[in-house]
């Protein structure tokens, strides 16, 4: 294994940024990232006195920390839209991510409340366990499915064949040739011999399994441990919970940043 320093995840960069700049981000910038229109439009909304921060009417130029300040536009907290729900589920092995299953296997939406109807953002194989987002927010789902390949996803993979060599780890990091093309660079570490922590942006079918197989270490157990800024070690397989508002805001920001970066690169 090499000692290459892994790139810092986006939400950490965000968090570090808000520590370096104790005042946080400008309100209009945050509002724009949360879908209230261009920065210019958001400045107008602020100037009209329609925005409050911690229940005090905000002034133009105000900076906020999205993870601690409460921002309301027209009295509605940003990040919260009436009727939208966001569940974080720890999917057990044996449950399928599709809306129905011809083979009669259990489906993920039966593990969460039936009303309002939700769908999963992204998929996990039937034999993969771990975190899955379910929501009725089509806009967030579209952003996460953006061609920039969305936010980071972290997996723990227990692989066959014992300790994985430094060379194999380098190949996983640099990109391995799969039948649908070379994989994008990944962050890969081996916390314990035979267990890999793999962070990818792409969401190709059975990608982690195929990557590991390509370097001679088929996966025996695969768990998704993080989606962007979201993780929860206490959530047991089959359990779900609603996202907290700070989590939802961090997720929205992480997604917006990925999309922004992608658009700038085009």
- Catalytic residues, which ones? 125
Q: Minimum CB separation from ligand URA for residue 111, in Å?
A: 16
Looking at the Cβ atoms of 90 and 207, the one nearer to ligand URA is: 207
Integer Cα distance of 81 and 243 in angstroms: 13
Interface residue with ligand URA, options 128, 135, 183, 252 (CB under 6 A): 128
Looking at the Cβ atoms of 124 and 215, the one nearer to ligand URA is: 124
The contacts of residue 75 (CB under 8 Å, 6+ apart) are 52
Residue 84 in contact with residue 134, Cβ under 8 Å?
no
Residue 58 in contact with residue 52, Cβ under 8 Å?
yes
Stretch that binds ligand URA, among 9-17, 72-80, 123-131, 227-235 (CB under 6 A): 123-131
Looking at the Cβ atoms of 31 and 95, the one nearer to ligand URA is: 95
Looking at the Cβ atoms of 117 and 221, the one nearer to ligand URA is: 221
Q: Minimum CB separation from ligand URA for residue 209, in Å?
A: 4
Integer Cα distance of 14 and 255 in angstroms: 12
Site size toward ligand URA, by CB under 6 A = 8
Which positions from 187 to 216 touch ligand URA by CB under 6 A, shown as an x/- string?
-------------------xxxx-------
Three-state DSSP state, 232 = coil
Q: Minimum CB separation from ligand URA for residue 129, in Å?
A: 9
Q: Is 222 in the site for ligand URA (CB under 6 A)?
A: yes
Tokens of 48: 């009209």
Integer Cα distance of 88 and 239 in angstroms: 9
Three-state DSSP state, 230 = strand
Interface residue with ligand URA, options 44, 69, 125, 213 (CB under 6 A): 125
Q: Minimum CB separation from ligand URA for residue 146, in Å?
A: 18
Residue 91: burial class (beta carbons within 10 Å; 0-12, 13-18, 19+): buried
Stretch that binds ligand URA, among 12-20, 35-43, 122-130, 245-253 (CB under 6 A): 122-130
What is the per-residue burial (b if ≥16 Cβ within 10 Å, else e) of 119-156? Answer: bbbbbbbbebbbbbbbbbbeebbebbeeebbbbbbbbb
Looking at the Cβ atoms of 112 and 214, the one nearer to ligand URA is: 214
By CB under 6 A, name the binding residues for ligand URA. 124-125, 128, 206-209, 222
């Amino acid at each position: 294994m090499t000692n290459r320093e892994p790139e810092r995840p986006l939400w950490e960069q965000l968090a570090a940024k808000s520590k370096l700049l104790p005042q946080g981000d400008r309100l209009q910038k945050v509002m724009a990232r949360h879908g209230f229109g261009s920065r210019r439009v958001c400045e107008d909304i602020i100037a009209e006195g329609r925005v409050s921060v911690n229940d005090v009417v905000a002034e133009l130029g105000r900076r906020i920390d999205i993870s601690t300040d409460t921002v309301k536009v027209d009295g509605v907290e940003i990040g919260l839209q009436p009727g939208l729900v966001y569940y974080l589920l720890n999917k057990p092995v044996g449950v399928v991510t599709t809306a129905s299953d011809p083979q009669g296997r259990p489906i993920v939406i039966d593990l969460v409340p039936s009303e309002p109807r939700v769908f999963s953002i992204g998929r996990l194989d039937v034999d993969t366990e771990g975190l899955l987002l379910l929501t009725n927010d089509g806009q967030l789902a579209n952003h996460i499915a953006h061609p920039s390949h969305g936010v980071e996803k972290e997996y723990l993979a227990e692989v066959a064949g014992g300790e994985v060599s430094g060379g194999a780890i380098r190949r996983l990091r640099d990109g391995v040739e799969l039948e649908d093309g070379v994989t994008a660079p990944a962050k890969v570490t081996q916390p314990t011999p035979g267990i890999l922590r793999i962070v990818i942006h792409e969401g190709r079918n059975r990608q982690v399994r195929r990557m590991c197989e390509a370097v001679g270490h088929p996966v025996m157990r695969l768990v998704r441990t993080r989606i962007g800024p979201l993780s929860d070690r206490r959530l047991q397989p089959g359990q779900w919970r609603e996202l907290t508002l700070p989590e939802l805001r961090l997720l929205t920001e992480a997604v917006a940043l990925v999309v922004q970066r992608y658009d700038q690169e085009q």
